[in-house]
Amino acid sequence: MATIPTYTLNDGSTLPAIGFGTYPLKGKDGIAAIAGAIEAGYRLLDTAVNYENETEVGEAIRRAGVDRSELRVASKLPGRHHGYADAIASVEGSLERLGLDYLDLHLIHWPNPSVGRYPDAWRALVALREQGLVRSIGVSNFTEEHLRRILDDSGVTPVVNQIELHPYFPQVRMRAVNEELAIRTESWSPLGKRQAPFTEAPIVAAAEKYGVTPGQVILRWQIELGSIPIPKSATPERQRQNLDVFGFSLTEAEVDAITGLGRADGRLFGGDPDTHEEQ
C-alpha cells in the first residue's frame, strides 16, 4: 500500500491526508475496531466528548502499541461546555478519559449560534494550546460568519474546519471559504453514510476503470479535493480498503463529475449549522 501523505497546517503541525472516524464505536467491540484501525495504518483518530467513547479510544491506543508521537488524536468540545471555564474543564476531562497528557487537535463540535458562546469556547482553546494541553485547535460545522467572528475576536485561525462533505453534499462554497482563510477542510460522513452514492454512474465508472471499489473512488475524490476524510468502519477489510487510496488518482473530469452529484437535499442528519444546536 502506498504511504499516506501529510499536510502541514497553518500552525506548522501536520495531519495525515486521511483519518479514522470512531463514532459510534464503543465497548469491547469498539476498542477492538479502533485498535484494528491503528494496526491497519490509520494515524489520525477522530473522537468527541459526545461520542462517549474517549475511554475506548485511549484503550485502543494502548492496545495497538504504536508510539504516541506517531498518532494524531482529535476530540471535540460539546455545546454544553462552551463557557470559558467549562471548556477548560471539558478538555481536562477528555484527557483523563483518553489517558493522555495532550491532545493533538481539539475542535469546537458545533457553533450553536443561538447560544452565541462559541467565541468564549475558542478563547479557552487558545489558552489550552498555550498551556500545551492541546497542540492544535480547530472547529467543526462553522460557516463563514462563525469563522470570521472568532478570527476577528482572537486573531487565531483554526487549523481545520470539519464539515459534512460527500458527493451529495460537496460543499463547494465552504471549501472555498476554508481555503481562502488557510483552514484545512476535514470531511465528516465522507462516504455519505446512509445515502452513500455507491451506485452513481461516475463513481461506478471510475471504480471499474481503476479496479477499485466505489468507496475507494469516493475517498480518492476527497483526497483530490484536498479535504481530509475520516471514514468510519468496524469491518477490518473495509478499514484497509478505505486507507488504500493513494495508489491511483482521478482526472479533473472525473472529480468534477462526482462533485456534480451534489444536490439541494444532500445534507444528512447533522442539520444546518445556523439552526442546528448540538448539546
Ligand X SMILES: NC(=O)c1ccc[n+]([C@@H]2O[C@H](COP(=O)([O-])OP(=O)(O)OC[C@H]3O[C@@H](n4cnc5c(N)ncnc54)[C@H](OP(=O)(O)O)[C@@H]3O)[C@@H](O)[C@H]2O)c1
Which residues are tagged catalytic? 51
Whole-angstrom Cα distance, residue 66 to residue 118? 34
Give residues in contact with ligand X (CB under 6 A): 21-23, 46, 140-141, 162, 188-193, 213, 215, 230-235, 238, 241-242, 270
Q: How far is the CB of 230 from ligand X (least distance, A)?
A: 5
Closer to ligand X at the Cβ: 21 or 36?
21
Closer to ligand X at the Cβ: 1 or 85?
1
Please identify the residue of the shown chain whose CB is closest to the bound ligand X.
21
Closer to ligand X at the Cβ: 131 or 145?
145
Q: How far is the CB of 51 from ligand X (least distance, A)?
A: 7
The amino acid sitting at 83 is: G
Q: How far is the CB of 168 from ligand X (least distance, A)?
A: 11
- Measured from the Cβ of residue 19, the count of other Cβ atoms closer than 10 Å reads 27
CB distance 54 to 266 below 8 Å: no
Closer to ligand X at the Cβ: 41 or 270?
270
Q: Where are the beta strands (DSSP E) in the chain?
A: 6-8, 14-16, 20-21, 44-46, 72-77, 103-108, 134-140, 160-164, 184-188, 228-229
Look up residue 175 and give its three cell numbers.
471549501
Q: How far is the CB of 33 from ligand X (least distance, A)?
A: 8
CB distance 186 to 9 below 8 Å: no
